[in-house]
Amino acid sequence: MNAEGKMRVLVADDSPEICDIVEILLLGEGCEVLKAADGLQALQLADDTVDLYILDVVMPGLTGIQVCTHLRQKTTAPILFLTAKTQEQDKTMGFSAGGDDYLAKPFSYGELISRVKSLLRRYYVYKGKEESRRHLFTAGDLTVDTDCHQVMVDGRRVELTEIEFKMLLLMVQNRGRVYSAQTLYEQIWGEPYFYTANNTVMVHIRNLRKKLERDPQSPQYIQTAWGKGYYVG
């Protein structure tokens, strides 16, 4: 967020036309827009004042996936992939790298604005910037602090993406309750469920386990209820 309180969005795409279109749309929504022509320039412009990143997957130099991986080492700001690559494998790679959403080209202007607003809203609600009270939720050595937007495991701070944080918080707040992939998708993404969403949920569960568990193959926190879904015990 800039000094005037406007949301800052960084758009990285090697197509000047795409960058200009996205800029015009977001300026109309009151955002400040930074533009990058490639992955390296995107990383050079990235800082803690950026509220949202929109990355093309295929760019010269560093790909959007590589940029996302670098960004996740220093920020939890939401990342939206904007790309012509629509294979499920490509989406899985994007989510595994820490991306929050995926929008295929060609896209409708209304859909882009809707995704941007949704990601920014989730980011600030779950970061705790719109909350005044402190809430701590625990499960063994796992602690989720919604005021500081912080997750600790055995005294170690764990950096999560917004989607990961929201998913974990939902299950920690309702320990023992089993959530199906459909329920998780509809509650976390806020979109109607479709058959490929199972894979999307599985990728995020796998990422959470890699970050939280001593042994992701034998999870202590995020359990699987076979044939039913996932829960925090």
Per-residue pLDDT at 87 exceeds 90: no
pLDDT over 80 (residue 221): yes
DSSP 38-78: SHHHHHHH--TT--EEEE-SS-SSS-HHHHHHHHTTT----
pLDDT reported for residue 131: 44
- Asked if residue 53 has pLDDT above 90, the reply is yes
107-138 pLDDT, tens digit per residue, is: 999 999 999 999 998 887 766 544 444 478 88
Tokens coding 116: 């941007």
Per domain, the residue ranges of the chain are: 8-127, 136-232
CA dihedral 68, 72, 78, 81 (to 10 degrees): 10
218: Cα separation from own chain's centroid: 25
- For 10-21, write each residue's pLDDT tens digit: 999 999 999 999
Least confident of 19-23, 66-70, 92-96: 92-96
User: Tens digits of per-residue pLDDT, 133-169?
Assistant: 447 888 988 999 887 788 999 889 999 999 999 999 9
Top-confidence residue, 131 or 49: 49
Q: Is 37 exposed, middle or buried (0-12, 13-18, 19+ CB in 10 A)?
A: middle
Mean pLDDT of the chain: 89
* Percent share of the chain, pLDDT over 90: 67
Class of domain 136-232: mainly alpha
Under DSSP, the state recorded for 163 is H
**Cβ(130)–Cβ(173) below 8 Å:** no
Q: What is the pLDDT of residue 146?
A: 84
**Statement: residue 3 has pLDDT above 80:** no
Q: Which of 24-28, 57-61, 166-170, 193-197 has the lowest mean pLDDT?
A: 193-197
Q: Where are the beta strands (DSSP E) in the chain?
A: 8-12, 32-36, 52-55, 79-83, 101-104, 136-139, 142-145, 150-153, 156-158, 222-225, 229-232
The region, left, alpha or beta by phi > 0 then psi within -120 to 50, assigned to residue 190 is: left
The structure's pTM equals: 0.62
Does residue 84 have a pLDDT over 70? Answer: yes
Q: How confident is the model at residue 42 (pLDDT cuts 50, 70, 90)?
A: very high
The domain at 8-127 falls in which architecture?
3-Layer(aba) Sandwich (3.40)
